[in-house]
Amino acid sequence: CTATFTVTPAPAVVLTCPINATEAACQTQAQIDAKFSTWLGTGMFTGGCNGVLSNDNSGPAPDHCGGSKSVTYTVTSDCEPNKTCTATFTVTPAPAVVLTCPINATEAACQTQAAIDAKFNTWLGTAMFTGGCNGMLSNNNSGPAPDHCGGSKSVTFTVTSDCEPAQTCTATFTIDPAPAVVLTCPINATEVACQTQAAIDAKFNTWLGTAMYTGGCNGVLTNDNIGPAPDHCGGSKTVTFTVNSDCE
């Protein structure tokens, strides 16, 4: 008689690698580490006899600032050659920091200090940046704006971020100097005798009005004349003219 003893064939190994994964930049390293560990665990297989799944990963996840890691998975089993597959876990690179300084600014003289202070503060706020991970913008300004009578201040702006060295730029805010005061006195005048007092008074008042000045900021012209013109019968009067201004 005849009989048959059969061993059924071992089911074929079917190895399924993790799906290639890409993670966005600017996550923390702890977040990337956790996601990488979870991703490693998605490799799997079916079939085979006494199969063992392993991978060749050693060391940490890719850097959170960008990078990738390819991992090869291997199934060893009793009844067929090893099966392998490879998958890649990628962290996109952090976008580069682009720092834009304020444009160098020049303000005209003869504004109030309050106006200059406000414009300086607004100017400071025009610095900006894009890119980077968890970037912070700061500047080294300390103290007030430049003096409204003239001066300048250079300010350095800095962006610190997780994934690249600090980026810096420098800009300058300038106040034009106030123009110098130029005071022109009346020309010394001599009138002939025997005019009426009214005529002398009128000419004296006109003469007082010929003082003038240019320059300065918010200047005020005054003189120390008190009382009437010199007597029409003879005499003289010396008058001092003064310009007071903000910046000298």
What is residue 247's predicted lDDT score, i.e. its pLDDT? 94
Q: What is the pLDDT of residues 134-192, one digit of tens each?
A: 999 999 999 899 999 999 999 999 999 999 999 999 999 999 999 999 999 999 999 99
Q: How far is CA 140 from CA 106, 155, 168, 170, 171, in A?
A: 20, 6, 11, 10, 11
| 120, 125, 127, 133 alpha-carbon torsion, rounded to 10° | 150
Cross-strand pairs, 210: none
pLDDT (average), residues 226-235: 94
Report residue 105 as tokens: 């600014």
What is residue 142's predicted lDDT score, i.e. its pLDDT? 93
Q: What is the pLDDT of residues 47-59, one digit of tens each?
A: 999 999 999 999 8
What is residue 15's predicted lDDT score, i.e. its pLDDT? 98
Q: What is the pLDDT of residues 9-41, one digit of tens each?
A: 999 999 999 999 999 999 999 999 999 999 999
What is residue 212's predicted lDDT score, i.e. its pLDDT? 98
Q: What is the pLDDT of residues 97-122, one digit of tens each?
A: 999 999 999 999 999 999 999 999 99
Name which of 17, 19, 21 is nearest 35 in CA terms.
Answer: 21
| pTM (global) more than 0.85 | no
